[in-house]
Chain A
Amino acid sequence: MKKKMLLHDALVMAGALCGAYAMVLLTQVVMGRIDGVAMLIFMLAVFITSMYTEGYFWGAAASVISVLAVNFAFLSPYFAFNFTLSENLFSGLVMLVVSIMTSTLTTRIKRQEQLRMESEKEKMRANLLRAVSHDLRTPLTSIYGACSTVIENYDSLDKTKTIKLLGEACSDAQWLNRMVENLLSVTRIDSEKVTVQKTPTVLDELVDAVVVKFKKRYPAVPVQLDLPDAFIVIPMDSMLIQQVLMNLLENAALHAKGMTKLVLKVFTVDDRAVFEVTDDGCGIPKERLKNLFSGTGGTDPDAPADSRKHGMGIGLSVCAAIIKAHGGEIRAESRPGEGTTIRFWLKTEEIELEDAEDEQ
Chain B
Amino acid sequence: MSNNKFKVLIVEDEANICSFIETLLTTNDYQALVAHTCTMGLTLFASHNPDLVILDLGLPDRDGLELIRTVRQKYMTPIIVLSARTDEMDKIEALDLGANDYITKPFGTGELLARVRAALRLNRYGAPLGGAAPNGEFCAQGLRINYDRRKVFVEGEEVKLTQTEYNIVAFLSQHAGRVMTYAAIVKAIWGDTDIGSTKKLQVNMANIRKKLGSRPGSNSYILNELGVGYRMLDEDSGPRSEGLE
Contacts and interface: CB of A to CB of B under 8 A. Distances in A.
A225 B200 contact: no
A208 B162 contact: no
- Residue of A215, A227, A360 ringed by the most chain B CB atoms within 10 A: A360
Contacts of A177: 106
Contacts of A211: 216-218
Interface string B8-30: 00000000000000000000000
Contacts of B245: 174, 216-217
Contacts of B202: 200, 202, 205, 233
Contact of A231 (B203, B217, B223): B203
Interface stretch (A5-13, A40-48, A119-127, A350-358): A350-358
Nearest to B202: A202
Contacts of B149: none
Given A238-B226, A239-B227, A357-B162, A212 B85 contact: no
B86 A184 contact: yes
Contacts of A329: none
A201 to B, nearest CB: 7
Nearest to A188: B86
Nearest to A356: B203
Given A184-B86, A355-B203, A225 B215 contact: yes
Given A201-B227, A207-B217, A208-B220, A359 B162 contact: yes
Interface in A192-208: 199-202, 204-208
B209 A358 contact: no
A223 B215 CA distance: 13
A242 interface: yes
A202 B206 contact: yes
A305 interface: no
A238 B162 contact: no
B203 A199 contact: no
Contacts of B241: 215-216
Interface string B206-245: 1101000001111010011011000000000000110111
Contacts of A129: none
Contact of B226 (A173, A209, A225): A209
A171 to B, nearest CB: 10
Contacts of A212: 217, 220, 223-224, 240
B152 to A, nearest CB: 15
Given A209-B226, A216-B244, A204 B209 contact: yes
B163 interface: yes
Interface in A95-147: none
Contacts of B85: 181, 184, 239
Contacts of A181: 85
Given A205-B226, A216-B245, A239-B227, A225 B216 contact: yes
Interface residues of A, number: 36
B199 interface: yes
A115 to B, nearest CB: 32
Interface in B140-197: 162-164
A207 B216 contact: yes
Given A177-B106, A351-B199, A355-B200, A206 B226 contact: yes
Given A204-B209, A233-B202, A359-B164, A227 B226 contact: no
B88 interface: yes
Contacts of A207: 216-217
Interface string A326-340: 000000000000000
Nearest to B227: A238
Nearest to A204: B216
Given A205-B224, A215-B217, A360 B106 contact: no
A262 to B, nearest CB: 12
A207 B226 CA distance: 10
Given A177-B106, A358-B162, A242 B226 contact: yes
Contact of B217 (A223, A239, A242, A360): A223
B188 to A, nearest CB: 16
B204 interface: yes
A174 B110 CA distance: 14
Nearest to A197: B88
B233 to A, nearest CB: 13
7 contacts: A199-B227, A204-B206, A207-B216, A212-B217, A353-B203, A356-B204, A358-B162
Pairs A-B, 10 closest by C-beta atoms: A211-B217, A208-B216, A207-B216, A209-B226, A205-B224, A359-B163, A356-B203, A238-B226, A355-B200, A202-B202
Interface of A: 173-174, 177, 181, 184, 199-202, 204-209, 211-212, 215-217, 223, 225, 227, 231, 233, 238-239, 242, 351, 353, 355-360
Interface of B: 85-86, 88, 106, 162-164, 198-200, 202-207, 209, 215-218, 220, 223-224, 226-227, 240-241, 243-245
